[in-house]
Amino acid sequence: MGEAASGAGAGVFVAGHSMGEYTALVAAGSISYADGLRLVRERGRLMKLAGDRAPGRMAAVLGLEEAQVAEVCARVSSDGFIVQVANDNCPGQLVISGDAAGMAAAMAALTAAGARKVAPLAVSIAAHSPLMQPAAAALRTAIAQTAILPPQAPVVGNTTATLLTTVEAIRDELNSQLTDSVRWTASIQHLASAGVTTFVEIGAGEVLTGLVKRIARDANRVTVKDVKGVRAYVATLR
């Protein structure tokens, strides 16, 4: 999923959540459509291989702040397990990722810490965790061989929640994305602080629109689901 954002005097920015970051980079003119498809396909293939070799788990955590969840994950990891915050989606909604033992310990600790809900996700890989390191290492070669241009519109990176303005920054972001956390809350906060007042979600669902509602409550939110919708929305801007 991808997000386009704008505001009076703020200009246009783009961002994408997890795999959607590739969509954002295509929209910004940094990666061609064909190269974007190729990289996404290779990313998925490598993630599956990594998951087959080192199965992991993911779980949604509701009702706790990111700092609380990160502290619990760090404490569990200090015992030799693997678990970390995979997605900081919005205040009170996070996802953790790691190996089976680490996840079991973290899920129990988070429940004891007062989480409203800790729910396993129906996945067999630990995305955005160190278990994806083999996939990230192999994907690095494909990224290095891909032509990347400076973005025509500012792109907010998942792992840094800051602007990716150079080719080097984009490569670094894509290389680290599989093993690092998606900082979506901080990304949207960065856009809001830059003066963005309207967020447009481009994709089949409304997940990101709902997250933005929790992060930037006063912002305008628009969902565009297909090419016809894009054209209709653009027409309203003229």
Pair (151, 44) in one structural domain:
yes
Domain stop point among 123, 153, 181? 123
> In terms of domains, do 87 and 142 share one?
no
The SS3 call for residue 219 is coil
Do both 90 and 203 map to the same domain?
Answer: no
pLDDT at 7 over 60: no
Active site residue 128: yes
Range of the domain at 96: 56-123
pLDDT higher for 49 or 230? 49
SS3 content of the chain, % helix, strand, coil (to 5): 45, 20, 35
Q: How far apart are CA 117 and CA 109, in angstroms?
A: 12
User: 51 pLDDT exceeds 50?
Assistant: yes
Confidence of residue 234 (pLDDT cuts 50, 70, 90): confident
17 is catalytic: no
CATH number at residue 18: 3.40.366.10
Is a pLDDT exceeding 50 seen at residue 141?
yes
Q: Which of 18, 32, 77, 176 is an active site residue?
A: 18
pLDDT of residue 1: 46
pLDDT tens-digit map of 89-125? 999 999 999 999 999 999 999 999 999 999 999 998 9
Instruction: Report how far residue 116's alpha carbon sits from residue 122's, in angstroms, rounded to the nearest whole number.
Output: 19
pTM: 0.93
Clarify whether residues 10 and 88 are in a common domain: no
Arithmetic mean of pLDDT, 23-29: 96
Question: Among the three residues 99, 123, 147, which one is the final residue of a domain in this structure?
Answer: 123
| Annotated catalytic residue, options 97, 128, 187, 190 | 128
Regarding whether 44 and 141 lie in a shared domain, the answer is: yes
Return the CATH number at 61.
Answer: 3.30.70.250
Note whether 163 and 233 are same-domain residues.
Answer: yes
**pLDDT tens digits for range 190-213:** 999 999 999 999 988 899 999 999
Q: How many CB atoms lie within 10 A of CB 53?
A: 10
**108 and 66, same domain (yes or no):** yes
Q: Count the domains in the chain.
A: 2
Closest among 41, 1, 47, 42 to 23, alpha carbons compared: 1
